[in-house]
Structure 1
Amino acid sequence: MQAAPREIDRYVEMRECRGMSAGNVDFATLRALFDACADMPTSEQKAFVATQPDLDEQQRSMVLAWLQADAAADRTERSDVVQTLGNDWVQSRHAALQSYWFGRRIGPFLVRELLGQGGMGSVWKAERIEGGFAQRVAIKLLATARPVSAVQMQRFAAEREMLAGLRHPGIAGLLDGGETEDGVPYLVMELIDGQPIDTWCKARASSLGERVGLLLQACSALQAAHAALVIHRDIKPANILVDAQGQVRLVDFGIARVLDASMADAPATAQGERLMTLGYASPEQLRGDPTGIASDVYSLGLVAYELLCGKPAQADSALGLVTQIRQICEDDPPPPSTVGDAGLRHAGLGRELDAIIMKALRKAPEQRYPTIDALAADLLRWQNRQPVDALRADRWYVWRKRVHRSRGALIAAGLLVGMLTAVALNWRWQSLQLAVERDKALVATRFMSAMFERANPASHLGKVPDAIQMAEQGAAELLQDSDLDAETRALLCHTNGRVLLALGQFSRALELANRGLSVLPQEEPAFAETRVELLLLKAEALAEMADWNDAVASVKDARDALAEVRDEDARRWLAVRLLDRQARLDLDRHESAAVAANLPKALQAANALVDAEMDHTPLDARRQSARELLASILLTRCRHSVAQASSHAESYCEQAQSYRERVFPPDHPGRLNALQELAVLAGNRGEGQEALRLSERLLAQTRGVFGDGHPRTAVAALNLGVEYRIAGRYDAAEAQYRFAYAVLRQTRGESHPHTLMVRNNWANVAYAREDFDTALTLHREVQAHRREQLAPNDPELAQSATNVAKCLWRLGRWREALAELDASMVPEEPSARRTQTMLRLFLEMQRGEFGDMESRITRLQQEIAAASPDTRGSAAIAWLALLYLEHRHADHSQLQQAWQALREAMRRDDGRELVSEREVASWERTHADIVPASASAD
């Protein structure tokens, strides 16, 4: 029996057009060889394979093994045998990939570990080995070692361009890209430390509600991609990762396709190039039909099916390939509640979720949810116990659902029928009640009218009062007895208090919050919502005044009062606001563990709130308020990551700033918040000019929004002063500190942390000028204030102890300096801890105590290398190393190498605290044999 000529022709054509060489053959070519030999007699098969010059021995043995398996199988479906062929290929390619790429350099990265491979390419864990900072990334590149085709090059270029435009907290970001020395395109992506969504849920025995919450996060990320005209086309659990904080991250847009008419004829779905995962592919993908948003809806429906009931919906691997494809295209899976885990089913997996999932899994794309948002909206309706859209056609279901949700109202209506006879007796009471409400409205109107009347210039000798004066006058009126009823007075106290809070009048805002709380009847559920609002206002004011303990107590009181709020919608909103306020309080109190534990809950709740409000128009106040809440929580995550020197800090802060720019209009103060954190990160990377530019921009914009007298303007000036000091512009730094101190002392008081921070940084300028006596006096003042108001383990007390010890050391009072450090706690923040350790080493060196100094210096060098691109402290470490080598009488070459390392570190390290140009220059003058004459001027 001879092989079909067309099959041999196809094999030869593939071999020639792909430029095969020995051992460099892809699976498609081996499969074509298998098809060419399958109908030959066994003796001819072996001879034909042996004559192929492109194969190595392993590949020849593999093809012959496939042919033996084919001969022994039921030949009714050759594709059933072909399915097993890929397993051998994958295993061999896995070994080949490991051998080829492991330990190779790609751009500035070193390849470390194969994370996975698929139809589009392979994904590797890699580490940055140049650029001055440590970074772990995921690198995606083509899985084949042969020359890359033009089609694949085009697809990779499209993927890179597409990924660069996707910005969403739930989508892994693109960091870099290019081609290897071999011409293989690669993408460098954010490395997500997480687990596939199904694995994550199993490991934690997540409840049904928690699983739906994760699906909603995935919906939010996928909808953002669709909004950018991008579909994923390979949605599966392995591409939906969940980190330790419960945040969903969508990864691997490797086979995504831009939704653009110009791509309609792109070769991404040409024969042999269909890239998908069979168990999560849509029918139209398998048929080779055009794919769009509906395909992602289907695949996410498959993930939801498996996540909610614990079993996959399609593609049983025990079936043959053709059978699997036919099943996916034609057969509906059973409803998830009929196959699900009993525990999940008892928790609510029933008809409604069945309908939602099965609508997403309809075979015809036009019968599914039209968008991911529509699917998310139905999941939210299920969460909120509202009628789901997937069952909208069942009028009896909708009626029962509404009756269930409104049973109280219906019962009341029934009772009303029985009470009609009492209406006539009750009409007078109702009219009296209406009169009371009318009188309350008139009194409130008169109060507001009087406030605006007081703005009349005629009442102020021609001077128009500013916003602060008007708010202060309103506050004075509210704090006095008047004819306002209790509820109206409380609401006006809250409104006026929030205005005063925004204007920086924190003590007056606190007075109004307390006044409003005092007039509300205690333990009255009808006023619970107003009580929570006032307690939140009180917590905000106390936090601005750095009264952390009372602020925490107010949040706790608000949380207790929340249980009494009757309106479900109001209770949901207030709960998210409380989570936001608690997270910011924890951050201000340096409670990093509490922030890490509570931030994921706050983010999930805020995302759910935003998703729930998506039905409102973009300008709707509720929708905008929900987005502003999410923006606040994203900023808290950014600030926390910066404080913890997290590797995610830059990504989180860029996300926070990007989201704020979408949420707030151009001149809104909400756009300013993340700029300072981005400036800090730029400084940590050694980009002093960028940090200075951002800080100058922040002060100019803050001043434009709030004016010169607002504490936020003063804080922006304080931060700009820090950048001026680092740049050596001491006069400019002092000018900013002088302005900031005047404003903060007046608005926040002498002992407020921000006021003390100004004094602390002012002292640092004196230290940089080597005026150590003045610096010591100022640092002692700051330390005394902090001891009065901070807990013994507060990081700012450790900062003061280090600053005082530095001054004492420079003044030659090293015993007092050591005593100061011994009495202090070790800072948790890495940079502050390194500074204190280095200072202690300098002091011990001064005392002649060298002991284990070499190992400690080595550890510090390793720490600073790991902290890269944050170079702070590198110059001091290099100075320590040079002095230690000199003590050991190291040879000339070692000292010269250490000196060169010191000079290089001093060029990079803008934040030098423990080494000065003067003392290094003095050392160089006494070591002319080590320092080249041409370099001594450095």
Structure 2
Amino acid sequence: MAVWSWLTREFNVSAGQGQQAARIARQGRVPMTQDTPDDPERTQLLEAMPSATVPAGEALAAGVQLGHYRIESLLGRGGMGDVYRAEQLQPVRRTVALKLLRAQRMDARRVAYFEVERQLLARMRHPAIAQIYDAGTTADGHPYFAMEFIAGSPITTYCDQHALSLRERIALFVRVCEGVQHAHQKGVIHRDLKPGNLLVDEVDGRPLPKIIDFGIATATAAGSGGEVAGTPDYMSPEQAGGDQALVDTRSDVYALGVVLCELLTGQRPNANGETAASGVHTLRLPSEQLSTLSPVDAGRIAQARREPLPRMRRVLRNELDWVVAKAMRFERNERYQSAAALAEDLQRFLDGQPLLAAPHGRGYIWRKFAQRHRTGIIAATAVVLALVGGLALSVYGLLQARAQRAIAEQRNAQLERVAAFQQSMLEGVDVEAMGVDIGRDLRTQVARQAGGDVPAFERGLARTSTPDVARSVIDRSILANAERAIEHDFANDPALAADLRESVARVRLALGLPAEAAAGFAQVADYRTRALGASAPQTLRARQAQVRALLEAARTKEGLALADTALRDAASLPAEDPLWIKLRLDQADAIAALGDRPRARALLEALRADAIRLRGERDAATTEVTNSLATLLGRMGEPDAGRKLLETVVAIRAATLGKDHADTLGAQHNLAIMRIMTGDKAGAVAMQRELAAIQTRRLGAEHPTTLGELGNLANMLSDSGDNAQALPIAQAVVDARTRVMGADHPQTLRGLLNLSSFYARSGDFARAIPLQAQVADARVRLLGPSHPDTMVIQLNRAATLYQAGRAQDALAQLDRYLPTARQVLGERHRELMMGYDIRAQAADALGNATLAIASYQELLPLREVALGKEDARTIDAAWQLEGLLRKRGQAGAAGELRARYIEPLLRADPKTLGEARLAKRQDIIDTEREEARQAVR
């Protein structure tokens, strides 16, 4: 029985911690045109005069290709056409929304509308408007165009799911108004503004609204005035009245007023705008909408907007009622004259300025002034009292002090902006690439100035880590000087000094100086504990960064203790707070790094369930937790479970961040590993080749990230049977890592282990065994004798010794390490099962049937629990054990094994078996046939 598959290589698994700072928050997504409770009625296209209907065509099936696009699924159907989710195949690959005119009989009017819609969209370029990419026609002449796919939620859904405050909702709505104003400036009236057409996505953690579906806006440019188009609940009176010649940009302002009312109170206005009753036009305003609800329901709505109910009623009644009323006036001339005017008034509300829509009495204007300048009024009152008391000199001194404070505050703000700019510049430095450049420049200079010394120089440089040189130079020349300047120049402003020190620490963490970063974060957190308290969010943020830096510096026990303390201090944070989730994730990662993987898994599973419940599956913090759990499952010997989670992570990140985003590539990297671990060799190699090519192009051939991808490619090629192609790649990776990172770096040691396994597969044990001993010695020295990574190399050494014909040495190695490995790695780990397999084979080869039987008896239940009763490896263990038992004369026990594991495989239809089970079936048949012939002889 072959054991080559158990000569395990180690893959570079990116957990997405520390090196990838941008964390983009996502949740609550729905497809671009999917109907939701916020969009109760589809857009309607109603004929004012009877006309022949246009029969609807059948929806396109998934996989159908239109031009450069392949249909994936139907998103929705409207009056003008169908919208599909599709994949653009060339010149770039991306997901798009593809709109197709589906009428079987296309009259010239509809084709003209469709063409006008495409042209209108193509003219608009605004962050809040979905962008058009391309257009074409099907083989039978049906026009279509491809546009930006928005994986967002209707604006009302997004605000509710994220519990946005009243001010946050209004700020988001202002951005919608700006997009509508852009469309109006291009001559486009949307005509169907409603939550379902105002989707909100997130970019860099900030909500970004997108206006979609300008499908009926074409009537502005090409309509005949005979159609009523839009959604009834959001139509302006003139739009619903049928005379489309009266529809203008103020009709969209009316619809924005309806959406604003819904954002404020969770309800649309009862009437379609103002209604005519006895010659008087009436409208139920937001505060009146709220008053119609029960106290419980009204309180729930206010709480969701993070406002006390009395204050919310007061704000609506005194100000926001006026905005909604002006936007929804029955007479167009009385509305806001543009979406920009509506946005300006809402911004005035946010800034505490008097509203243009409000009745401008002196009392209202004075009240707004007082709200904006409350502190100043209090100070002014104190000044008046001082004047009354005859303290003119004190007043003068106070005014001078305030002026000086204002100047100081302005300078501090400027300094913070400069510091933020410098931090972003330094964080973006690629130290690994800088180290490669330093090495290259040094070689060039030595070759030019002292050519004869090049060989000696190369030997010295091979023992030097040039990225560490680059880090040291930046740290000493820039960051250390910055710290001294902070100490000297900001001694009298400790709060600002702490902020600047935090900026320096974040740069150090990004540059790969975690120990120095941890010291900086500790200093910041200690000051904020004294000034603000241990439970203050600013303090906890610095503590969490300190924990992460300690973990990256391999000071795991210290990091775990600090994480436990910070979690106790953070008990008052809301359960959904990302900082609370990060601290729990750090705690689990530390426990896993210390070797207690079962406990870490339980913590991560509970944390993921909480994150999904509280923030949604698509949220950035949730995907980070899912990624960590998936990689841990893979390390614990459960790659199928890990792969399933990573497929989800990759899909979410591709949809929310883009396919070429660093976080998406990191998840794909891990997924490729899980594919090879679950037997999908072709899929894994294809994905890994693509990742290696991308990183070589982006970062260079000797960048550590590139080397990690090339190392994984070598592993996958070897697993796929192409050992000859894998060996030179693996050797090149080891050489480059030794030059770039140093001989004892974990990545260098991992490369050596992989290279040794390739030599073993090639039968070159004279090279394989010393390399494995070198890795084992380094890991014992660096990680300790009981670390999971140390256990992995010790078990691999036993497998290689056995393959080299040294069965007795293999048994001695396993006797020494197998009991500890079972405790450290867990009973589902593939290396543990490999160890029992090798022990059984080595014992059998040495004639120790008792030990061989005992080993298979331990291995069989392990494989059945981890892999399943029908897995080829489980059946192999049962078959080997059956043969040994028959030789011992234990026919009954052997028969039970055969009936449970082997006979079902032999009776199965070969067409229903996978590759591994089919091969094992044939192996059993061929071997037993040969054994029968031998018995006859």
The answer to which structure, 1 or 2, has the higher relative contact order (CA under 8 A, 6+ apart) is: 2
- TM-score normalised over the length of structure 2: 0.49
